[in-house]
Amino acid sequence: MIELDAPLTVEQVTDHIATVTYDRPEAMNAYNESLLRGTVEAFERLDDREAVRAIVLTGAGDAFCAGVDLDDMPLTPEMDFAEYEAGLGLFQAVVRTLRSIDTPVIAAVNGYALGAGCDTALACDFRLTSDEGVIGETFIDVGFVPGDGGAYLLPRLIGEARAKELIFTGRKLVGEEIVEWDLALEQVPADDLLDAAIEFAEQLAGRPPIALGQSKQLVNESFDVDLEQALSDATRAQRICSQTHDHAEAVEAFAEDRDPEFEGR
């Protein structure tokens, strides 16, 4: 579907669902520069495709993404600050892209999602985990902080105290624990994980895409603006939606007692 010079695969698995699979199983899908740049490009290009209404992100083999590849890192302590900032910016660009695109993204956490891989999963709109899924903010184990957005995202998902517990201790959550900590919608058997994620993606794909994208942005910014700004942004988004074909179709379908057929326009 999309050919990229990066260790990941992109497939259109249904009319409106695409999958992105990190494909460095020998390195537990750990990030190197090629994978970081390819991830951003893949999601930006998928977001531009009207036919794609939801995306599932997962990893090949036994890991989702085990963080940074220590043998192929795009940043080192010896760099000057500008170079270091640019190197870390490659990781931050993944989180920024996942949060900023309108298309909803579901992380299918099939194995280790550690460090930067954990932050990638947190930046997705939803997470499903298998019984083999492992999530951990493990930066503290190597004397680091969550440099990819984890310290921003995690408190918004589970609250400040619980986020500090995971970040300060490096504790890893496994399988059902991930659900219990409200970091995944559900746990499913490993063999069923991708199908379950695609099935949930199909639910999202059946909703009006413009309204879905506007809703995503309103929720994502909700912790960072005051009420007046949030109401102003909601007015703008509602006005946009009110002028779409999908809104008119929904009203017409309701009047005719039938299911609406949304076209994303």
Q: What is the pLDDT of residues 11-68, one digit of tens each?
A: 999 999 999 999 999 999 999 999 999 999 999 999 999 999 999 999 999 999 999 9
What is the reported pLDDT for 73?
78
**pLDDT band (50, 70, 90) for residue 253:** confident
pLDDT band (50, 70, 90) for residue 140:
very high
- Residue, of 209 and 252, whose pLDDT is higher: 209
DSSP secondary structure, the chain, as one string = ----SSSEEEEE-SSSEEEEEE--GGGTT-B-HHHHHHHHHHHHHHHT-TT--EEEEEESTTEEE-SB-TTS-S--TTS-HHHHHHHHHHHHHHHHHHHHSSS-EEEEE-SEEETHHHHHHHHSSEEEEETT-EEE-GGGGGT---TTTHHHHHHHHH-HHHHHHHHHH-PEEETHHHHHTTS-S-EE-GGGHHHHHHHHHHHHHTS-HHHHHHHHHHHHHTTSS-HHHHHHHHHHHHHHHHTSHHHHHHHHHHHTTS-------
| Residue 25, pLDDT score | 97
How many angstroms separate the CA atoms of 77 and 86, rounded?
13
For 157-213, how does the pLDDT look when each residue is reduced to its tens digit (9 = 90+)?
A: 999 999 999 999 999 999 899 999 999 999 999 999 999 999 999 999 999 999 999
pLDDT digit string, tens, across residues 148-158: 999 999 999 99
Q: Domains of the chain (ranges plus CATH)?
A: 8-205 (3.90.226.10), 209-255 (1.10.12)
Query: What digits encode the pLDDT tens for the residues 64-86?
Result: 999 999 888 777 888 889 998 89
For residues 110 and 192, what is the distance between their CA atoms, to the nearest angstrom? 10
